Amino acid sequence: MQVRKVNIWLLGYESGKGLSVNGTNGSNIGLTRMLENKTVEMTIEAQGESAFAEGVVTTSYGMSVLINCNGSFACSEAKIFGSDADALEWNCNSAMACMDTLLYCPLQSSLSPLPPSPLCRVNCENGNQVETCVNMTIVSMGGLHTMDLRCETTRQQCKGVTIHCGSDLSRLCVLTETNNNNNNNNNNNNSVYDCASCGTLWSYEPPSALRIPRNSWYIIEYDTKYSNEIDCYSESDEDCIIIGNVVKASKVSTLIINAGFADRLIIYAHHTSFYASYLKSANAKSVVLYSSANANDVRNFYSMQITPPQQSLAFMPIKSI
């Protein structure tokens, strides 16, 4: 029997503190669900102080996630790994409800052609509370262009929010108050949150889903996401992209990477160490490995073994896009 809906109610003080909801187990269930156009809807209702504090949610293809945080610190320090989800909505309705949290937005929201409405929604305005999303970290490939982030500056609801963006997630900015030129009122509401590198003034060009299909992106949100193996399903005219952790140092030791028949296999290591991993790329047309100049202590490809492709192999320091 296939579960279509998952409803989790956390009522009361610390009722679900540290709870982990694993929407993926490293199998192909999510990929099968996506190909069959099926959806699992997950709802988490955190009602009460610290009800879902330090909680963790992992997602897979075909999942739609809704999280409501009602109560002081209700979801503080939670981690939502939503890269593979179809859609995600997070409502932070109380003071510091989503303080010091981490969110990976659905990748689907940032691929060309862009969906008609954002598939990643974060509402920090409900309830008119202060500092609802203070110090949140958001990973969104399209930055503010491909997500719906709602905050009020008067209540410092998104103070210190950090965004990682770009087609390789190498861009970074912290939201600050800026004038809203579309508002003619001379009051505090004449300011909005924005930033240069990932904000509204940045010109975002979404990667083509035809060139790099959704299931050919591998975002290493946490160390154990891909267990011991990554299999690229790319066809001969498609790329396969692996992006390491951009938030903190991580390690995926002894990972086996099968490039398959990809036109290009590209690895952006960032803060991830692929120590003693094995890259099998004999059938790929080309391989590019990007190490990070800002992560020298990680030793991105230390002791890695490579079966090189038949055509070309490149290795170079990472560049900002």
Per-residue pLDDT of the chain (321 residues; tens, 9 = 90+): 466 899 999 999 999 999 999 987 554 555 566 566 678 999 999 999 999 999 999 999 989 999 999 999 999 999 999 999 999 999 999 999 999 999 999 999 999 889 888 999 999 997 678 999 999 999 999 999 999 999 999 899 999 999 999 999 999 999 999 887 554 333 356 689 999 999 998 999 999 888 898 889 999 999 999 988 999 977 778 999 999 999 999 999 999 999 999 999 999 999 999 999 999 999 999 999 999 766 556 889 999 999 988 766 666 666 544
Verify that 260 and 159 share a domain, yes or no: no
Distance CA 246, CA 174 (A): 15
Verify that 126 and 273 share a domain, yes or no: no
Phi then psi for residue 190, to 5 deg, are -85, 5
| 207 part of a folded domain | no
CA distances from 47 to 78, 136, 170 (A): 15, 20, 36
Query: Looking at the 3D structure of the chain, how many domains does it have?
Result: 2
Q: In 10 A of CB 196, how many CB atoms? A: 12
Q: Which residue has the tokens 């060309």?
A: 112
Taking a C-beta distance cutoff of 8 angstroms, is the pair 259, 230 a contact? Answer: no
Verify that 179 and 258 share a domain, yes or no: no
Verify that 185 and 227 share a domain, yes or no: no
Q: pTM here?
A: 0.90
| 200 part of a folded domain | no
| 161 part of a folded domain | yes
Residue ranges of alpha helices (H) inside the chain are 29-35
